[in-house]
Amino acid sequence: MIKLSRPLFVAAALAVLLSGCAASGAKYSDMASSIPTLKADQGRIYFFRSSSMMGAAIQPEVRLNQTVVGKSQPGGFFYVDRPAGQYVAASSTEVEKTLSFALDAGETKYVRTSVSMGLLAGHVNPTLETQEIATKELPSLSFTGDTAAAK
């Protein structure tokens, strides 16, 4: 009986530990109507990460042109509004991964952050995602941002 209990205890402890790693804010589907309209001279950038247990504990800051704008959290999303221009999204674990892109006024970009295996720790890779794919995934994700910082 002790041999069976130990694996169950370890599995339960791991599940409790990892459950605290997922995003827990309001769902996009519940708050989408309260997201402010985009100002005419700005673009919007959504950052999001799928719900996945792979690399769940890896939650680095996300920077946009060297300014921290949020964290890459499994099952989470946030957005920022910025003037048209050139941007570099970045995150760092054991290495820095970057994504460069242009943002036009009135445009919305979707940046997926996903975990890949690294030598010592996982890497969080920012990539551009299509609107079609992102808008299908966003409704199930939780808001992890700060609405004041979004502007």
pLDDT of residue 151: 60
pLDDT digits (tens, 9 = 90+) for 6-58: 444 334 344 434 444 556 678 998 999 999 999 999 999 999 999 876 667 78
Better pLDDT: 121 or 7: 121
Is residue 151 domain-resident? no
Is residue 117 domain-resident? yes
Is residue 149 domain-resident? no
Is residue 100 domain-resident? yes
Residue 27 DSSP one-character state: B
Contacts of 7 (CB under 8 A, 6+ apart): none
Q: How many domains does the chain have?
A: 1
Quote the domain boundaries for residue 121.
Answer: 2-143
pLDDT of residue 55: 67
Q: Does an H or E element contain 85, and which? A: strand 85-92
Local confidence band at 121 (pLDDT 50, 70, 90 cut-offs): low
- 109, 43 Cβ separation under 8 angstroms: yes
pLDDT digits (tens, 9 = 90+) for 78-111: 999 999 999 999 998 878 889 999 999 999 999 9
Is residue 65 domain-resident? yes
